[in-house]
Each structure stands twice: as structure tokens, then as C-alpha cells.
Structure 1
């Protein structure tokens, strides 16, 4: 049963790669996403360092949008989110200053989105890693590992 009170947000348009890579790779029934930021149609929702330029709440919002971008890429690759069996792992990078310690709270913004879509099947193992910079000044970058149902 989904105990999360977060409502399901609509998926954004499928993001296009910003470089020479693919957004999703499938190997042996496992889907790996590239890192996704909170850019929607090429525009970042927020820029800067969480805890310095942005509040934790703004970081959570960026994490939610970034994971929605991951889901949009998964849906495009798999032919819909109904083919996703479960979200196994999430790695989240949070651009923050050296004294920032609330990385898990920021990444909870993404975890809540996953649970709103998949219930307990969307609750991944995860890492929340602090970094000094991310592409284009993004505050958050996320990658997922998911399993896919057989066609």
C-alpha cells in the first residue's frame, strides 16, 4: 500500500541528451538511465548550490523534476511506465557547499515521486552524494537503475 501522500505529477517531455550518450541503456532486463537534471525543454528549474543559493525545498523540487525526467526517459525506452517492474537504485548528486549536510532531505524529493508512481516498488536503495558543481549549474543530477517486465 502506498503510504506516501505525494500526488502523481505528470511526466515532462522526454529530455534529449546534452552530449554523446544515450538516455537509457538496457542490459539483461535491467534499465540504466544516464544522469538527468531538472531541465525541462532545455531550461533548468533552478540553478546553483543547495544551502547556499537555493533552499532545501528548492533542492527537493529540483530532485523531483530530475527524477521525473528519468521516468520520462524510461517510459520512452520501455514503451510506458507500466513495463517498469521496480526501481532498484537511485544515485543523486547534490551541488552544495562543503558545510551542507542535508543531501538525504533533498533526495527525498525524488524518492517521494518514485513512491507516488510505483508504491513500494519505487522505493530504491540510494546514494545522496554532495558535489561542488554539476552541468549547466544544475543543483541536482539523478540516475536510476530499474528492472523491466518481459513484453
Structure 2
């Protein structure tokens, strides 16, 4: 099953790829690697899932925010590649979690994105990953995630 078909079977719809909000590119290529700039949990109405773990956001809320961020990343990948089936492998994710200093469950939060990638891309969605806590994120987002994909030629 193609990734777009898998998304549909899960009842998921890719949002429209965003425009950069500053002086950067949403993605860049280096050989067969596609690098995606960090994205957050932006909803279709333009608002973000916000909150700080350990203070005003739960792990489940943040997990869902990371899942939404994964959809946003896949949307950008689709706009860069034309179709998600060109993704040969998700190489690496860097997940940043807006968290209080004593919060320690960062991996559980970023699993929202990791789980989504495996659901949609199968074994190609498995990846290396870092999950870090930070004192704040733009727009008070709960998470920000960047990704590196290995892609097939057209």
C-alpha cells in the first residue's frame, strides 16, 4: 500500500505545506538526502498546540502534538518529492520538547511522530532519533521536530 493510501486508511489527511515563516527553506536536498527544517504542531486553522510539559501540557497532549508535527513534515516531504513512496528511509529525527527542567519523558512525547512514520511508511519509517527538552519553542509550541530522509530518484 502506498503511503498516501495508508494515510487515507488511517483517516488522516495531509495539511497544506506551510510557507517558511522567516529567512530559511522548508527543505533542501544533498544528493539523495532530503533535509526538512524543524516544524511544529500547526493546526489547519493556523494555531499551534502549545504548552510546557511538566507545567501545562500532558504527555498524551504532547504525543498528539508530535503526531500532528509528523503530518506536517510528511506534507512538506510530499511537496518536495511529489509522492511519499519516494522515501526510501527516514534516517533521523531531532525532536525538541518544550519542558520544565525536571521533566524526563521526552522520548514518550516524540514517539507521536515516530509511531506515525512507522504506521504510514512501514519499515522505511524506522529511524535514529534524538529527543531533547528545551526551555521554550517558537509560538510556545509543545514540540518541534526536524527530519532527514533518504529518497529514491524519480
Residue 100 of structure 2: which of 94, 97, 101 is its match?
97
Which of 15, 18, 28 is residue 15 of structure 1 equivalent to? 18
What's 1:131 paired with?
134
Unmatched runs of 5 consecutive residues or more in structure 1:
1-6
Are the equivalent residues in 2 in contact too, given 1:8–1:113 (CA < 8 A)?
Answer: no
Summarize the alignment of residues 74-93 of structure 1 with structure 2, pairs less than 5 Å apart. 74-93=77-96
Q: Are the aligned partners of 1:92 and 1:127 in contact in 2 as well (CA < 8 Å)?
A: yes
Q: Which residue of 1 aligns with 2:76?
A: 73
The superposition leaves residues 121-150 of structure 1 with CA deviations (integer Å, 9 ceiling, x where unpaired) of 101100001000000000100000001111
CA distance in 1, matches of 2:110, 2:62: 8
Corresponding residue for 1:43?
Answer: 47
TM-score using structure 1 length: 0.92
* Post-superposition offset of 1:17: 1.1
User: Partners in 2 of 1:92 and 1:138 — Cα distance?
Assistant: 12
- Cα-to-partner distance string for 1:1-27 (whole Å, 9 max, x where unaligned): xxxxxx463211112211111111011
Deviation per residue, 1:50-98 (Å, 9 max, x gap): 2211000000011001111111001000111111111010000000000
> Residue by residue, what CA displacement relative to the aligned partner does 1:28-62 show, whole Å, maximum 9, x if unpaired?
11000000000134211x21202211000000011
SS of match in other structure, 2:18: coil
State the 4+ residue runs in structure 1 displaced beyond 6 angstroms: none
Unaligned runs of 5+ in 2: 1-9
Q: How many residues align?
A: 145
